[in-house]
Structure 1
Amino acid sequence: RVSAGALTAGDLEALRRWTFPYQESDALKLAVMGEREMFIVGRRYGLRLQELFNNSSVWDFKVTSTNTDRAEGSAWAFLRGCFGPANEPKFHLQRGVEDSKIWWPRNCPRYQTEINSNPATLRERSKFQFHPAFRRTRKRVSIRLGLSRLLTLRHLPIVLPERCFNSEKKKGTEVGYCFVTSDAILQPREWRDVQRKAELTAMYDMCRFEVAHQPFNFDNRPWCAAFTKEDLLRMRSWDHWAKGTIEQKHRRKRPTMAEPVSEAS
């Protein structure tokens, strides 16, 4: 009901009429806006590196992509922007290449053990999640929707030795592992019993995907109506810590993984 929250009648009607526009089979496909963006990126490369491209033939360039439709579609769009659609029959594109630089997390055991599989890398997001400012955002969005309870968040595993009672020995260090939800800290034995849905996270994801897929369609963003600009900025900051800090990632990775970073800089 309109009177139960802060959404307008139009916002509520848009949410009632909303249906998920994609099928599971669309997961690996390239979005229309993604294709347009890759075309523009290719065109910019072509304009900024005219000396390179004007003195070379299309046949001199070999482009590879991973084995997904969206990766292949991105490569084709980039080439069309770079060389022009008329040269498409000449493009040399090889699909199914597992590039170690593209898939560097899979090729770095140290990253897998110390970052990706280590709950300690999520410590900063846990601090942000329990910060009073973020709690206010969570409460404000819940009130805007007319709810008498708080929206749930994605569950967050983390290492908090001072607040966990169960511990184990790992490499000579005693570490207590527990599971941090949006409301409580649970012991390992309780992890499997936690089945709450990540409502606030799902709403934020839908809002940003709607903006990314249709950036110029301002009337078709029903999920964004639940957030203020300040709320969206805080949700973006919270999501930033999904896999730990950038500093942690770069400090712990192998030298081979630093190549793309040094080359880009």
Structure 2
Amino acid sequence: MAGKMLILCLILQYVWSSLGDLQCQERFVHYGHHLGTKSAYRFPLQPPKITGQCQFERIWLMVRHGTRAPSSKVIRYMKERLPQLRKMILQNVPRDGEPGLCRDDVALKTWRPRLKETDEKKLSAIGEDEMIQLAQNYRYYFPDLFPGNYSAASYLFRYTATQRTSASARAFAVGLFGRGTSHHVRYPPAVKKDAVLRFYKLCKRWRKQIHDNPDAVEERRKFEAGSEMLYTLTTISKRLNLNFTLSLEDVKLMYVTCAFETALYPREKSPWCAAFSEENLRVMEFAEDLEYYWIDGYGHNITYEQACPAIRDMALRIIPSLIQPGTPPTTVYFTHSGALLKMLSRLGLYKDRGGLTHDRYHSLHSRLWKVSNIDIFGSNLAFVLSRCFDGYYVLTLHQEKIVRLPGCDQDEDLCPLNLFLKLMWDIVSGCNFEKLCSLRDV
């Protein structure tokens, strides 16, 4: 009898251990899919299927820089606070067979901060690889628009006055032309407040009313003070076997470290990710979605209406009736999250019915506005002019995938030029940026 009981106990222990291992594997599978704007670029599993007898004549491509290092402030917190948290967690590592961290989480014992404050926001080696691969992908999709020989008559490249966009542009050029020829590519002087690539830097009204206004993130604050976030803090603390509940600030730091380390070191598993279940990550992701929705998205009209200069620039470079002589057929710009999110919003993409508010977490699990998908490192938006047997059309790509603009036929990938022109004209004709962004009428 005693022998049978021993065998039963061993079987139960094995089953419990196997279930625990499975849960750990499942947790790691989901890392990288709910990490917000600090997510590495995920190349599509398959290229867009572009059908029909059409010739692609012009392209306007806006690219967010590749994976970068965090700000100096975040790096400093990583170096100062995370070792303290690590020490507390390791003091409470469970014995075998008890709930808590997974076996792979032993990496926390050897974890050390690798980043220096001098790395602040610099493009990483992974970010360079992302740009090289992205360029090669676009050359594969549109070989006529991305010829392998560089010419100023064929290409216009432009980036903002930052290291991460400059380095992204140069890596993209390597992907197109190889390292030798890429050194001959010409770039116009970068402007700190670029009216097309960083228009929001010039919008004084938006900066005062939204960007610099603490009340603009009220929806995120309400959500972070609610029951979902409290439950998240509690479950994470229990998973780490701590006898106290971690603060929101500490959990945010662990989350952003998980995100950056997942993006920067893709062949490794950040031990800080191990603190989060998939549901925990979803909660953290929603909090970030709320902030970007209200700061860079649909939350306020002025936020997306100010994107009209970038859309006007696109129209002037791909619409035949508006193109000036000498305009290169291929335009590639390198910018930031703030520009792309505002553009996507101005175009009406990823708009959820009813909007995002703190009390809609459970009803918006399948929401369209999810920055982990639409605003990752390397995010890109392209408009391609296509000449077909029956006229001109415009193809729109986001993250290399075909998207259909609201107002175009939702059953067709290509939007007829006359319809596309009407949509853009409605945006561009009312584009009085100076009046929209002036503080005089506030």
Q: Normalization by structure 1: what TM-score?
A: 0.72
Measured against aligned partners, the alpha-carbon deviations of 1:218-244 in whole angstroms (never above 9, x if no partner) come to 4x3110111111111111111222355
Unaligned runs of 5+ in 1: 154-197
213, 217, 227: which is aligned to 1:122? 217
SS class of match (1:233):
helix
The 5-angstrom pairing of residues 130-209 of structure 1 reads 130-153=225-248, 198-209=249-260
CA distance in 1, matches of 2:280, 2:304: 36
SS class of match (1:53):
coil
CA distance in 2, matches of 1:73, 1:67: 11
272, 284, 289: which is aligned to 1:223? 272
CA offset at residue 103 of structure 1?
A: 2.2
CA offset at residue 111 of structure 1?
A: 0.8
| Counterparts in 2 of 1:199 and 1:27: CA distance versus 1, 3 Å | same
Q: Which has the higher helix share?
A: 1
CA offset at residue 49 of structure 1?
A: 2.5
CA distance in 2, matches of 1:144, 1:6: 5
124, 135, 157: which is aligned to 1:63? 157
1:73 aligns with 2:167: yes
The letter of the residue matching 2:175 is G
Contact residue 220 and residue 291 of structure 2 kept, 8 A: yes
Contact residue 64 and residue 97 of structure 1 kept, 8 A: no
| Counterparts in 2 of 1:242 and 1:199: CA distance versus 1, 3 Å | same
Contact residue 159 and residue 197 of structure 2 kept, 8 A: no
SS class of match (1:151):
coil
Measured against aligned partners, the alpha-carbon deviations of 1:80-104 in whole angstroms (never above 9, x if no partner) come to 2233334213211345333223322
CA distance in 2, matches of 1:110, 1:131: 31
CA distance in 2, matches of 1:253, 1:70: 24
CA offset at residue 135 of structure 1?
A: 1.6
- What is the aligned partner in structure 2 of residue 191 from structure 1? none
- What is the aligned partner in structure 1 of residue 94 from structure 2? 3
Greater CA deviation, 255-264 or 138-147?
Answer: 255-264
- What is the aligned partner in structure 2 of residue 195 from structure 1? none
CA distance in 1, matches of 2:109, 2:303: 46
Q: Normalization by structure 2: what TM-score?
A: 0.45
| Greater relative contact order structure (CA < 8 Å, 6+ sep) | 2
| Counterparts in 2 of 1:33 and 1:254: CA distance versus 1, 3 Å | closer
Measured against aligned partners, the alpha-carbon deviations of 1:168-223 in whole angstroms (never above 9, x if no partner) come to xxxxxxxxxxxxxxxxxxxxxxxxxxxxxx211000000011111122x24x3110
SS class of match (2:237):
helix
CA distance in 2, matches of 1:214, 1:55: 31
1:45 aligns with 2:138: yes
SS class of match (2:191):
coil
The letter of the residue matching 1:28 is K
1:101 aligns with 2:150: no
CA offset at residue 56 of structure 1?
A: 7.6
The letter of the residue matching 1:208 is A
- What is the aligned partner in structure 2 of residue 258 from structure 1? 308
CA offset at residue 121 of structure 1?
A: 1.8
SS class of match (2:244):
coil
CA distance in 1, matches of 2:146, 2:104: 51
The letter of the residue matching 1:24 is E
CA distance in 2, matches of 1:110, 1:135: 35
The letter of the residue matching 1:23 is K
CA distance in 2, matches of 1:73, 1:203: 28
Unaligned runs of 5+ in 2: 1-91, 311-342, 348-381, 384-404, 406-442
CA distance in 2, matches of 1:7, 1:147: 11
| Counterparts in 2 of 1:42 and 1:238: CA distance versus 1, 3 Å | same
CA offset at residue 54 of structure 1?
A: 3.6
- What is the aligned partner in structure 2 of residue 211 from structure 1? 262
Contact residue 150 and residue 177 of structure 2 kept, 8 A: no
CA offset at residue 57 of structure 1?
A: 4.4
- What is the aligned partner in structure 2 of residue 84 from structure 1? 178
| Counterparts in 2 of 1:54 and 1:68: CA distance versus 1, 3 Å | closer
Measured against aligned partners, the alpha-carbon deviations of 1:125-170 in whole angstroms (never above 9, x if no partner) come to 12321332222111101111222222112xxxxxxxxxxxxxxxxx
- What is the aligned partner in structure 1 of residue 395 from structure 2? none
Aligned identity (percent) is 28
